[in-house]
Amino acid sequence: MSEKDGKRVLSPEEKAEADAPTNKQWLDTIGGPTADDCPIPMTVGIVLLPISGRWRIIGIMKDGINQCGGSGIESVDHFDGVGIVRIRPVVNKVEIKRAKRLIVEQIPHLADIEFPKRPVEDDGTLRPLFIGAFSKDGLIGAAFVTPGIQAAQSFLGYFSASAGAYQCAELVRRTVAEVEGIAVVDEYRRRGVALALKRYIDAWAADHGACLVLSAPTNEAARGLNEKSGHRVLEPDVLLMLQVVYADGGPCSLPFALERGQEAGYSCWAFLPIAKPGGMSVRAGQCPSVASSPGVSGEEYFAVKWETRDGDGNWIATTSRLRGVRADVMD
């Protein structure tokens, strides 16, 4: 914000924000589940995550809104052979076009995704977002992250006829972040830029009320990136299981599986539980894919290995035997 002739003049970033669609408008456009009539209660908490190797307070959450002013976080670090790189959300249509072009060029199957054409207003909750890595040469890396729309739709696919299903689906959408893709310009690869983008996404998601970050690596390089950033990477032949739980960890819903086909080649699931202020959340785990194969009835039981992390970042696993994930066994 500046002044000219005694009048306040909007900066380019503020003009872009003023033109931005709201999160709800974007969700209405793509048909994502919304639930204005069933808000999810949130408690107050401080989100503390490492950015570029340093622990920083990046948000104070109250009722799902960041009281520190949204996503004005910029991670600045030095990379060998690259120099200073700034990682931040894109702020205008030009940056969105460049970020989209880079991502689609390197990950062609994302060309069919409904990308936002301009920055979506930051209301303190998860929203579709392009994140860019900028050096003195301009945009050298980009990522695209969305609310948990796929996960919420999968939940409704199983449980839409059950009481409270839409409230739970809304919670899934608001607390699960889905990483659609990360891309880095060829000459800047293997310098740590992709890893910095990945860690920034985790910090941004926690700052905006997420409890879980999901992604689907489609090659060994992406798998290695997820492992290096601390995400749990599952094998291709297991199911990713999610479950809505209460603050004390007790189940609020039956578990449900996220579908993932192998038509486009190798892919698997990766996830990371992240800081959560409190209240209801979503936990993740895995089970053998045979659990959802033809011939296995909803009355049969199978083991789900739920995985989370303690305060030191160590993985903790618990196993429970649960009934098959079909909508008709929820009632």
For residue 153, how many other CB atoms are within 10 A of its CB? 17
Q: Which of 128, 70, 125, 117 is nearest to 95 (CA)?
A: 117
User: Which one-letter amino acid corresponds to residue 308?
Assistant: T
Looking at the predicted structure, is the pLDDT value of residue 225 above 60? yes
The pLDDT value given to residue 311? 80
Please give the DSSP secondary-structure letter assigned to residue 66. Answer: E
- Quick one: pLDDT at residue 174? 94
The confidence score (pLDDT) of residue 81 equals 78
Task: Specify the pTM.
Answer: 0.74
| pLDDT given at position 288 | 74
Band (320; pLDDT cuts 50, 70, 90): confident
What the block records as the tokens of 182 is: 């990360």
Mean pLDDT calculated for residue range 55-61 = 37
209-241-255 Cα angle (round to 5): 90
Alpha-carbon distances of 57 from 66, 161, 208, 262, 326, rounded to whole Å? 12, 41, 13, 40, 41
Confidence of residue 325 (pLDDT cuts 50, 70, 90): very low
pLDDT score, position 9: 57
Q: Is the pLDDT higher at 121 or at 166?
A: 166
> Which range is least confidently modeled, 8-17, 99-108, 312-321?
8-17
Strands 232-233 and 212-215: unpaired
Given pLDDT bands bounded at 50, 70 and 90, which one contains residue 164?
confident
Do residues 57 and 48 lie in contact, with contact meaning Cβ atoms separated by under 8 Å? yes
Is the pLDDT assigned to residue 31 strictly greater than 50?
no
289-317 per-position pLDDT tens digit: 554 445 544 444 568 899 998 888 889 99
Residue 24 to residues 113, 123, 127, 282, 309, Cα–Cα distance (Å): 18, 10, 9, 21, 32
Min mean pLDDT across 108-117, 146-155, 268-277, 316-325 is at 316-325
Most confident of 96-105, 249-258, 274-283: 96-105
Q: Looking at the domain 11-329, which fold is it?
A: Aminopeptidase (3.40.630)
Q: What is the pLDDT of residues 169-182, one digit of tens each?
A: 999 999 999 999 99
For position 277, what pLDDT does the model report?
A: 57
